[in-house]
Amino acid sequence: MKAVRIHANGGPEALRYEDVETPRPGPGEVLVKIEVSGVNFIDVQYRAGKYKPPQLPFVDGMEAAGIVAEIGAGVTGLAPGDRVAYTMILGTYAEYQAVPAARVVPLPAHVDFRSGAAVMLQGTTAHYLTHSTFPLSPGDTALVHAGAGGVGQLIIQVARKRGARVFATAGTDAKAELARAAGAEHVIIYTRQDFEAEIKRLTAGRGVDVVYDSVGKDTFDRSLNCLRPRGVLALFGFSSGPVAPFDPAVLGAKGSLFLTRPGLNQYIATREELVTRTTDLFAWLKSGELRLPMHTEFPLAEAAKAVLDQTNGRVDIQIFPASQLGTDADMLRQLRSGALDFFAQTGLIVATLVPAAAITGVGFAFNDYGQVWSAVDGALGRHIIDAFAKANLIAFDRMWDNGFRQTTSGTKPIRSPDDLKGFKIRVPPSPLWTSLFVALGAAPVSIPWGETYSALQTHVADGLENPLAGIYYAKMQEVQKYLSRTNHMWDGFWFLANRRSFEALPASARDVIVATVNAAALKQRADVEKLNGELQAQLSKNLEFIEVNPELFRRKLQGSDFYAEWKGRFGPEAWALLESFSGKLA
């Protein structure tokens, strides 16, 4: 069978896709044909050597879902063909794995393999933290660090379900939006705000009952300071590094605090506890009370395979889902240090490192894709690529499409800026969005994405703005009447490489990677264009599509300070390049 093994600790280059012997189930075991393996930060810790594997080489991976292929002696209650899932058993990056029958749980019919694999490790972690480590009750207050991560979003949802008030931290506006969508009452952007001071302000100086901290070194001291007397710090990870030794007397001095370092294995140590937790999780998935963080998939895997084939196996690019190797800030740091070789992310997010990358998202700069691709494939794109180079990163020539954003309304058609006057429109909590709609005369409101449907249904908001895919898959057409093709903002993904790692490759390999990834980007653009056409056909069954004249909106912005403000932020050189494609803005 095929498996991904690690022969020596290191970065992603340590992963080897190779042939190994197919295991056989022993007494009390089942052989599982793995359909989906989860990818989690703990896998990175094993690969890097921060956790010790039983031996080298070893197969990485800690959760999976699949089909029972064979049962060992003494196994009852399971049979070949059963759909199952499991977690905290090292070795899931493989086609088959022999696992103790007591550690697998049957998958209900409503849970597919992907969801089954995704919920096992992160979902049971969120469950034990909120139900056992510190059992939350209505009115309790909790701080969740890394609230936009996979575990963070699930903790927030489960905590809210138990009636707690939840505060979260995140590194960017985009990440803050994910945490809000999960249900966080308030999100603190730690790159701009002191989360300790904010928690004291939000709790009127009392502090929170519990802090769920997966970050470790960078947050530990201030997490203690965020607690009320006799509060609990649940330190369940250390993505920023291990906490330094400290005097336990500190806990007494800060208010008789409790500190625990919980681990999932001790909270699913018995079959009864494992089944109780997963039964709850599966039921919440069915009822819609729990939503798994799912990420957009691009044809990068196809590109990685093409690179492997065309370099005769010399270059094997491993693809990891978003957030599985850490936060956006973590991955940017890993990319710059060389721990990651490549990273794909939107311009609005990587703008925290390279501000010029956000300029493609200026409101009403582009009327259509023709202008977009001319700009990002031309001089504006080269300017941004040069800005990445100054940060010691290589940005590939072709951006990937993240879509134009459109405007919906449940009250009236939006045909001109006059129609937006006082219009309560749901927007992400970002200065670029908020200042755009304020300048247009609207009343932008920041509402968690998960609460937007009900907010529109109850008229807390009049409308929203989002790409067609976001509108359709969230079923916003059920609570809206009109969709105006405003194309008011566009953003795309940059494919980035660490300069030192990339230039260490043979020139022929570099040429193959550049050509293949750029070709994949062009294919993805075509795929998105096709999808948008299909989605418009579907949405038009419920929504009246309104074609608007973007020049009306642009003139409204030109009469305000909007373009002048952002010209000052991006600088005259970048702005002149933008206007060479968009026309005069400011």
Q: What is the per-residue DSSP string for 482-532? A: EEEEEEEEEEEEEEEEEHHHHHTS-HHHHHHHHHHHHHHHHHHHHHHHHHH
Backbone angles phi, psi at 96, to 5 degrees: -140, 150
**Count of CB atoms situated within 10 Å of the CB of 229:** 10
Task: Decide if domain 300-403+490-540 falls under CATH 3.40.190.170.
Answer: yes
Q: Give the distance from CA 169 to its chain's centroid.
A: 14
Which residues are registered as beta bridge partners of 344? Answer: 495
Q: Is 350 exposed, middle or buried (0-12, 13-18, 19+ CB in 10 A)?
A: buried
Ranges of each domain in the chain: 2-107, 122-267, 300-403+490-540
The pLDDT tens digits for 30-79 are: 999 998 888 777 887 888 888 889 999 999 999 999 999 999 999 999 99
**Six token digits for residue 574:** 């970048």
Residues recorded for the chain: 586
Largest Cα–Cα separation, the chain? 78
CA distances from 384 to 347, 380, 475 (A): 10, 6, 35
Q: Is 535 exposed, middle or buried (0-12, 13-18, 19+ CB in 10 A)?
A: middle
Torsion, CA 207, CA 160, CA 278, CA 81, rounded to 10:
-140
Same fold, 2-107 and 300-403+490-540: no
Torsion, CA 296, CA 298, CA 301, CA 303, rounded to 10:
-160
d(CA 511, CA 494): 18
The pLDDT tens digits for 164-206 are: 999 999 988 778 888 888 899 999 998 889 999 999 999 999 9
Q: 487: closest CA among 419, 545, 439?
A: 545
d(CA 586, CA 567): 7
- If one looks up domain 122-267 in CATH, what number appears? 3.40.50.720
Q: Which residues in the chain show pLDDT less than 50?
A: 295-298
pLDDT at 12: 67
Q: Which amino acid is at 277?
A: R
d(CA 574, CA 53): 50
> Which CATH architecture group holds 2-107?
Alpha-Beta Complex (3.90)
Q: Is the model's pTM score more than 0.85?
A: no
CA distances from 377 to 17, 49, 372, 381 (A): 35, 41, 8, 6
pLDDT at 296: 39
pLDDT at 324: 61
